[in-house]
Structure 1
Amino acid sequence: MRLPRGTAMLRTACPLAAAALLTVVTAGATPAGAAPQPLDLTCTAPSSNVVSYSPALTNTPSPHVLQTNTQYGPCVSPGHPGVTSGSTSGTVPPGGDISCLTLLVPTSVTFPITWNTGQTSTVSANIQSSIEGVTFVVVLSGTVTSGLFAGDTYLQTNVGAASDILLCNAGLGSVQGVYSTVTLEITAA
């Protein structure tokens, strides 16, 4: 989920789509011989992300309004058993020209997550996107900078269909939005 700079919710160098979002990145890899760090939180399907564009993206850059909504859950947190779901959402007015071609450009983002307990986490992450066959993969890897899980490593992987993006990149269609399933892991530092 890439959003233009200067927004209250997210900050990025170049808007991305899909909740996008990396060539599966292995963030926080454990050095040889070191014990793996415990997971503070995991969220799996039906966790999801929806990013929509108005107007629909084409392969010609132009200003767009971007709306994003991510729902996390079911989630399991051994240290915080009351945390079972969360969400983040926002609308970003036009802030720069984007196209379906920019969906694969790496960027960074900062955004809040509100958990079902009312607690919040602020995440700062790098975003990498790729098309693998007919699948659009977006990976957000970074750190929880404040709030619940502060200091922990953040790894979110969004997986969605790439067919509209492939057609758009070829000049044969447009992208109104991207729906992705989401897997989230927050690991103790």
Structure 2
Amino acid sequence: MKRLLSALTVLVSLCAGALAGAAPATAGVLDVTCTPPSSNLNSYTPPLTGTTRTVTVSTTALYGPCTSLSQPAITSGSRTASFTITASCLDLLDPGTVTYTITWNTGQSSTITSSYTSAVAGAVLTVVATGTVTSGLFAGDSVVTNFTGPATDITLCTLGLGSVSSVYTLGTLEITSV
């Protein structure tokens, strides 16, 4: 029994020494977090079908409630855009890169470039993006977004049984210093 206690004491001492000598992990500071009901709405005119055609996309994202230790006045943000693409509903699940500008409730803005992936599992669409704030408030910080929403229209469209007039998702936005 004495040997077992001695062995355990040595083992605990070695583990404690290894942990004490380990370099601390360097983690960035979370500059801003926006949680649901943060949302993104993409509307397609005319609606996307299984056939590739020219479509106008109108997008509106509303971020909030948001919290920021470094910028405590930030409580929300938004972005809007309208552009033309040539696409079908089959393209909704393709990965891509996007650049957009969030205007915060303080009047400040952050321009972000992100790479995103989309997936449908069951009846849920998940869109995950990672990127960087390229200019404005929080320039140089990393950005992660994770949004989910119903995928019924997308699934039906990809099966040739319908169209997609809009995609609505809810999720989170995190901007972290590096």
Q: 1:75 aligned to 2:66?
A: yes
Unaligned runs of 5+ residues in structure 1 are 1-31
Aligned pairs (5 A) from 1:144-163:
144-163=133-152
Aligned length: 156
- In the alignment, residue 174 of structure 1 is paired with which amino acid? S
Q: 1:104 aligned to 2:93?
A: yes
Per the alignment, residue 75 of structure 2 pairs with: 84
Cα distance in 2 between the residues matched to 1:176 and 1:169: 13
Per the alignment, residue 39 of structure 2 pairs with: 48
Q: Which has the higher strand share?
A: 2
Q: Deviations over 1:120-156 (max 9, x none)?
A: 0000110111112211011121000111111000011
Cα distance in 2 between the residues matched to 1:159 and 1:137: 4
Aligned equivalent of 2:123, options 124, 131, 134: 134
Per the alignment, residue 27 of structure 2 pairs with: 36
Secondary structure of residue in 2 paired with 1:168: helix
Q: Deviations over 1:59-87 (max 9, x none)?
A: 11111000000000000000100011000
Deviation at 1:182, TM superposition (A): 2.2
TM (normalized to structure 2)? 0.85
Aligned equivalent of 1:121, options 90, 95, 110: 110
Cα distance in 2 between the residues matched to 1:37 and 1:118: 25
Q: Decide which moves more: 79-88 or 32-41.
A: 32-41
Q: 1:57 aligned to 2:44?
A: no
The alignment's C-alpha RMSD in Å is: 1.3
- In the alignment, residue 101 of structure 1 is paired with which amino acid? L
Cα distance in 2 between the residues matched to 1:116 and 1:180: 21
Aligned-residue sequence identity (percent) comes to 50
Per the alignment, residue 3 of structure 1 pairs with: none
- In the alignment, residue 119 of structure 1 is paired with which amino acid? Q
- For CA contacts below 8 A with separation 6 or more, give which structure has more relative contact order: 1
Deviation at 1:110, TM superposition (A): 0.8
Per the alignment, residue 165 of structure 1 pairs with: 154
- In the alignment, residue 117 of structure 2 is paired with which amino acid? Q
Unaligned runs of 5+ residues in structure 2 are 1-22
Per the alignment, residue 66 of structure 1 pairs with: 57
Q: Which has the higher helix share?
A: 2
Per the alignment, residue 9 of structure 1 pairs with: none
